Structure 1
């Protein structure tokens, strides 16, 4: 028999009351009634507390929130208010960060294949620095400098230190065989330093490395930090970013290092490598993941004798693709009875036309599970909504922040009308391609 869901998988303000589990003093059953399902629920106090813990461990100007984990206007505003920089990886993320009130000089631009437009926007806005990933990107920066008159930009060079870590191959980024960065092997990273120093379009601000995500051992993060620190010392740069990657517990029994543990391990490693300056880290998952959970409504319970039980909910891989992409593992519980034992074993699946649309392969659930029950999967605050899609034309869920007994929608639920907004609605007999000269004439 499986025990009840453990508190260490729930948001910090989670507590059980007469209406079942509440977060931010708002019952989850009430949130589902008011805002529908699927629904992403974030504990705002949890988010703020994690930001403060990171800043306490590393310093105010040494923590950049990796916004790819979860970003909306409200999240950008929150992390900026808590003293974090923002790490963005596209023009879209940059726009949201700016719209959320983060000053450009508190934003760092990442990306392995930045477009001219993204680079032009970032330089014009005055971002803190750009993490340069390739010689081709240097070509683009220099061309924009000469042709568009853009000022020189501060850059940090992303290096591949030859150290890869993470829970799945797809999220290990620091190895020699990676689409990211300049390799330390073969002198490629050293050549990048020389190119940057000699360029009038770039100001070398430091170096950067990121070894992977969902790392549960600080020793792996420290090894990557040491490798890039040695190179930073050799290159004579002033800035050092050692990336993010600190993991979280998705299932009961997993142990996770604290921000303080991470800071101590990384600092010791870079000092041992000869680095005496400051350093920057980029946590994302470790700030957002446990703060969020997803609410679903059970629609189908299918028992196949001698095989298994399937439990179908009204979301699936469109709001949480991690199980399909990375073999991500989760737990589930019923908000009406969070302290109940969970002896029922079932495959928790979504509503998409894919056999691989599996949220939890072998979920532990209460024996009295029934159709129409509200079900929750915790620790979905990172890479859930951020990776959500409209597969099968499902509208993406709403996102609510809860705090001190109040709930506010920070991302509204998509509607079926939203799904039509980008369609070019040509009449059935219209020519999809205009005749020669038509476009020029319209100009």
Structure 2
């Protein structure tokens, strides 16, 4: 397994993260356990902030990747803005005291209650996804006496080379308003007709886990060409251009993500060239990284419960977690690397080993082909690069409680998410009155 951030192998032959021995973390906090490397999370934030500040741009951390009260504080301290996509994410930001003048509110079906919450809280920008949402924003902004500053989310017709489930830039998508069929221009007209709405810019997001940078440059050129068409028709001039997130990370051999600095250079170059070509001022450029900040900073620790060898076929190593705490492998075949955190120097087994979860699903395999030493019951398995879209997508399937999360730094570990209990699982359950009295 490739080591990331502050990971190292200590003198005991154990995996260490943030100066904390993984075996000690398991002893104190139990498993499954999400471990977040604070130093690496902060470093990734700074890489983006510095790279995009050079061109006068801005960086919004995509909260959907991983959002807790503590994560909000880290993002705030590192000087980034925040992209939220639901009332729950917005509520988390509010409770963390995150500055609302750095919050952008996304989502393709915002409810009236969510919009009221956001307007009342003073969210900086709404990213509008449909004509119906324009109607809702206009009505509620007038009702509350607020001004609604917004970006229009557009679909530029770009299909990034990634999994079908995480492509979003093509025209046939639940997200955004299409440019080629005239929907985008009609949305601009409607914004400009409504006094409570202030159109500030354009947005697009072409997908996730992207390794090729040319689609970002293509998206910039397409949106800037559209901005020129809008100016010619309506007189409106673009102020902000938000190109979303999606930069890929290393999960397993074969993944070769570009550097953040290269991404910034590509985007700024394309925007500047397009602005000159279209006769427009250069807008403020925004990006929304999530995975590439949180992903490499996260590791999940598990305890091995059973080792089942099928002679001549493979060995199934079952851990005390699985698709409940990380649905990505089952959902779209995501690949990961793993190691034995308590025996980092062990020689790798030559047999085929599958790392299996404990959910009652044959598809609950965390890693189909894991490179591990011969595994024993009680071993501690570490799966790397699980900081993004694991905790945020976790479920209680099979009534398994969701894991705890710790923040590690300089040899200390702090609990930032408590482990759910069985009592938490039934906290919202209600027994109908007719069932409450039972005959002896």
TM band (smaller chain): over 0.9
Task: Please tell me whether residue 87 in structure 1 is matched to residue 92 in structure 2.
Answer: no
Task: Please tell me whether residue 315 in structure 1 is matched to residue 338 in structure 2.
Answer: no
**Which residue number corresponds to residue 101 of structure 2?**
105
Q: 1:229-282: CA deviations, max 9, x gaps?
A: 322333321111000000001013421111101001111222232262220000
Would you say the 8 A contact 2:405–2:417 is kept in 1? Answer: yes
**Which residue number corresponds to residue 264 of structure 2?**
263
**Which residue number corresponds to residue 203 of structure 2?**
208
**Which residue number corresponds to residue 234 of structure 2?**
none
2:359 is matched with which residue: 334, 352, 361?
352
The more displaced of 99-108 and 52-61 is 52-61
The Cα of 1:145 is off from its aligned counterpart by: 3.0
The more displaced of 233-242 and 189-198 is 233-242
The Cα of 1:61 is off from its aligned counterpart by: 6.1
In 1, Cα distance between the equivalents of 2:436 and 2:411?
54
1:399-410 matches, cutoff 5 A: 399-410=405-416
2:339 is matched with which residue: 333, 343, 348?
333
The Cα of 1:200 is off from its aligned counterpart by: 1.2
Would you say the 8 A contact 2:36–2:299 is kept in 1? Answer: yes
Would you say the 8 A contact 2:119–2:141 is kept in 1? Answer: no
**Which residue number corresponds to residue 373 of structure 2?**
366
Distance 1:230 1:342, change over 3 A: farther
The Cα of 1:149 is off from its aligned counterpart by: 3.0
Would you say the 8 A contact 2:321–2:357 is kept in 1? Answer: yes
Task: Please tell me whether residue 218 in structure 1 is matched to residue 213 in structure 2.
Answer: yes
In 2, Cα distance between the equivalents of 1:96 and 1:51?
19
In 2, Cα distance between the equivalents of 1:70 and 1:244?
14
TM-score computed with the length of structure 1 as normaliser: 0.92
Would you say the 8 A contact 1:74–1:410 is kept in 2? Answer: yes
In 1, Cα distance between the equivalents of 2:203 and 2:102?
17
In 2, Cα distance between the equivalents of 1:377 and 1:108?
32
Q: 1:52-97: CA deviations, max 9, x gaps?
A: 1100000286000000000000001100110000000000000101
**Which residue number corresponds to residue 127 of structure 1?**
123
Task: Please tell me whether residue 18 in structure 1 is matched to residue 14 in structure 2.
Answer: no
The Cα of 1:305 is off from its aligned counterpart by: 1.9
**Which residue number corresponds to residue 437 of structure 1?**
none
TM-score computed with the length of structure 2 as normaliser: 0.93
> Structure 2: any 5+ residue segments left out of the alignment?
231-236
Query: SS at the partner of 2:126?
Result: strand
Q: 1:117-149: CA deviations, max 9, x gaps?
A: 111111111111000000000111122134x23
In 1, Cα distance between the equivalents of 2:377 and 2:105?
46
In 2, Cα distance between the equivalents of 1:333 and 1:250?
13
Query: SS at the partner of 1:264?
Result: helix
1:51-90 matches, cutoff 5 A: 51-59=45-53, 62-90=58-86
The Cα of 1:427 is off from its aligned counterpart by: 4.3
Q: Tell me how many residue pairs correspond in the alignment.
A: 422
**Which residue number corresponds to residue 254 of structure 1?**
255
Would you say the 8 A contact 1:160–1:183 is kept in 2? Answer: yes
Query: SS at the partner of 2:141?
Result: helix
The Cα of 1:404 is off from its aligned counterpart by: 0.8
In 2, Cα distance between the equivalents of 1:395 and 1:352?
12
> Structure 1: any 5+ residue segments left out of the alignment?
432-443
Query: SS at the partner of 1:279?
Result: strand
